């Protein structure tokens, strides 16, 4: 059997090549692969993936397409639009682990900011834009807090599709809006917030005749699953105790849950790591729902310095709840101050990441303090976006703060004596 689309609660099935994002009764859709049929074609074991040499159209690939059999098995290799996304580093860092009080040998940071456009979005984008082409779409669109629009812009250009992005006015970091403009996508600055942009995308799907590439698109999540499998493979399929990452629209939460569930079903892992989703306090509807035993999602007006996750109405809520159930996962929230302190530490370690990404490290700190994460456990944190995405936050911090890590520049006259005087 070929892969299909299936609604997540009532199990209504649709063919993979039907253009739709929800079922007729309004549920989110999963891409379901037929593992039994696939196993007859490919071994799909740890050894298979460890020894496999993957390539796309003659170029060594690795990354997302290393796992093509479990992402888009039925799509011809020649149809794939790829910029060799994935293959990101799994850092071990003494400075950050000692700041957190974790064992350096057991703490890792997976840097998704090292993808082609500087965020994890590229992993989802390569899969979803490939499907957009496959489905003969002419235009692609998204609502975005910045990174999705940057990624869409680059991939739409590569795929020769018209790109249209909706971003909230005054709430997108300069690095991200620069990318959307530079890669040549139509950029609409909406007088509203991200949730308004997302609502417009859902309403305008038909009238705009543009194919949405937000994480409501189930193919985005198929690409993002590979973050989990790549971590497992980089660790020789040894399962960590925790995977910690920021949550906004909850696409990653949903994708990570599905990836781990599938890896378990396939026998690639014998237990699941626990997911810990970190939200900014001012944009924490998922955290609040978690605290209420998921009795319902109350949307909110979001506010946080971490603009990437400034989202009050996450579209993937139901899938994210399922992911936490599968993984015995938890949700934590952190203040903007905690995010900035964590960011100063991540940056000063010579690694660096954008504010939303550093919610990961702030969350780990808080979960260690509360005893939820034990200091002898193995923890993998995900840094979702590159340090250069949001330079304004960095400049504001280092020019204006009086903290131990604040590192303001100094003006000097053009003379070696002046420089010597300053350095002494
Ligand atoms: N981190 C970064 C850097 C992001 O850009 C996003 C989402 C997230 C975390 C949250 O991930 O939505 O899967 O829970 N950015 C989207 C965008 C919303 O438009 O770029 P999520």
Please report which residue ranges of 54-102 form alpha helices under DSSP H.
68-71, 94-100
pLDDT of res. 202: 86
Q: How many other CB atoms are found less than 10 A from the CB of residue 397? A: 21
Domains of the chain: 90-117+220-400 (3.40.50.1100)
Distance in Å, CA 423 to ligand 1 centroid: 41
What are the start-end ranges of the E strands in 174-226? 186-190, 211-212
DSSP codes of every residue in 282-323? GG-HHHHHHHTTTS---------S-GGG--SS-TTHHHHHHH
246, β-bridge pairs: 278
Neighbours of 17 (CB within 10 A): 13
Could you give the C-alpha distances from 109 to 70, 144, 281, 294, 406, in angstroms and in order?
Answer: 24, 25, 23, 29, 23
Residue 62 has pLDDT above 90, yes or no: no
For ligand 1, whether the C-beta of 147 sits within 6 Å is yes
Atom 13 (ligand 1) nearest CA: 251
Helix (H, G, I), strand (E, B) or coil at 142: strand
pLDDT of 206 > 80? The answer is no
Alpha carbon distance, N-terminus to C-terminus of the chain: 72
CB-ligand 1 contact for 355 (6 Å cutoff): no
Closest to 86 in 3D by CA, of 128, 115, 66? 115
pLDDT in tens, 171-182: 999 999 999 999
Our measurement of the distance from residue 246's CA atom to the centroid of its chain's CA atoms, rounded to an integer in Å, reads 8
Our answer on whether the CB atom of 148 is closer than 6 Å to any ligand 1 atom is yes
Find the 150 Cα to ligand 1 centroid distance in Å. 12
* Confidence at residue 203, expressed as pLDDT on a 0 to 100 scale: 81
Q: Residue 383: helix, strand or coil by DSSP?
A: strand
Question: Ligand 1: which of 309, 352, 383, 393 to mutate, most ligand atoms within 8 Å of CB?
Answer: 309
Ligand 1 neighbour 115 (Cβ under 6 A):
no
Task: Tell me the per-residue pLDDT of 100-112, one tens digit each, with 9 for 90 and over.
Answer: 999 999 999 999 9
Alpha carbon of 151 to ligand 1 centroid (Å): 12
Residue from 220, 246, 305, 331 to probe ligand 1 pocket by mutation (most atoms less than 8 Å from CB): 246
Alpha carbon of 215 to ligand 1 centroid (Å): 9
Centre of ligand 1 to C-alpha 213, Å, is 13
8 neighbors 321 (Cβ within 8 angstroms): no
pLDDT of 387 strictly over 80: yes
Q: Residue 54 has what pLDDT? A: 86
Using alpha carbons, select from 318, 314, 328 the residue that is nearest to residue 272.
Answer: 328
How much of the chain, in percent, has pLDDT values that exceed 90?
95
Residue 385 alpha carbon, nearest atom of ligand 1 = 3
- The answer to whether 119 and 157 are in contact (CB under 8 A) is no
Q: Please indicate whether residue 71, judged by its CB atom, sits closer than 6 Å to ligand 1.
A: no
Buried b (16+ CB within 10 A) or exposed e, 345-372: bbbebebbbbbbbbbbbbbbbbbbeeeb
Give distance in angstroms: CA of 371 to centre of ligand 1.
Answer: 27
Taking the CA of residue 146 as reference, the ligand 1 atom at the shortest distance is: 20
């Amino acid at each position: 059997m070929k892969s299909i689309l299936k609604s997540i609660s009532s199990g209504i099935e649709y063919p993979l090549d039907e253009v739709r994002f929800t079922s007729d009764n309004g549920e989110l859709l999963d891409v379901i692969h037929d593992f039994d049929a696939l196993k007859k074609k490919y071994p799909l074991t740890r050894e298979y993936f460890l020894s496999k040499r993957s390539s796309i159209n003659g170029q060594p690939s690795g990354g997302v397409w290393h796992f093509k059999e479990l992402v888009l098995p039925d799509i011809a290799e020649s149809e794939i639009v790829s910029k060799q996304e994935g293959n990101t580093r799994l850092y071990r860092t003494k400075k950050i682990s000692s700041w957190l009080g974790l064992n350096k040998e057991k703490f890792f940071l997976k840097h998704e900011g090292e993808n082609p456009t500087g965020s994890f979005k590229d992993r989802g984008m390569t899969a979803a834009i490939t499907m957009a082409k496959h489905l003969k779409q002419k235009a692609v669109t998204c609502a975005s807090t910045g990174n999705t629009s940057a990624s869409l812009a680059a991939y739409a250009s590569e795929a020769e599709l018209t790109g249209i992005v909706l971003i909230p006015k005054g709430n997108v970091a300069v690095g991200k809006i620069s990318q959307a403009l530079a890669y040549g996508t139509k950029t609409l600055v909406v007088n509203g917030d991200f949730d308004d942009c997302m609502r417009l995308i859902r309403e305008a799907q038909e009238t705009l005749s543009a194919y949405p590439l937000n994480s409501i698109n189930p193919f985005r999540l198929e690409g993002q699953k590979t973050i989990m499998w790549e971590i497992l493979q980089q660790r020789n399929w040894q399962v960590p105790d925790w995977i910690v990452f920021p949550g906004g629209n909850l696409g990653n939460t949903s994708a990570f849950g599905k990836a781990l569930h599938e890896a378990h079903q396939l026998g690639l892992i014998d237990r699941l790591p626990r997911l810990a989703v970190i939200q900014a306090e001012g944009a924490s509807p998922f955290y609040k729902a978690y605290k209420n035993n998921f009795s319902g999602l109350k949307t909110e007006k979001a506010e946080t310095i971490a603009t990437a996750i400034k989202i009050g109405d996450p579209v993937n809520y139901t899938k994210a709840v399922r992911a936490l159930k599968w993984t015995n996962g938890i949700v934590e929230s952190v203040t903007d101050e905690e995010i900035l302190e964590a960011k100063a530490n991540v940056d000063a370690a010579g690694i660096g990441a954008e504010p939303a990404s550093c919610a990961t490290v702030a969350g780990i700190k808080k979960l260690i303090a509360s005893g939820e994460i034990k200091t002898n456990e193995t923890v993998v944190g995900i840094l979702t976006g590159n340090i250069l995405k949001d330079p304004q936050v960095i400049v504001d911090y280092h020019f204006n703060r009086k903290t131990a890590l604040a590192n303001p520049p100094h003006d000097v006259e053009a003379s070696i004596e002046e420089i010597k005087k300053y350095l002494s």
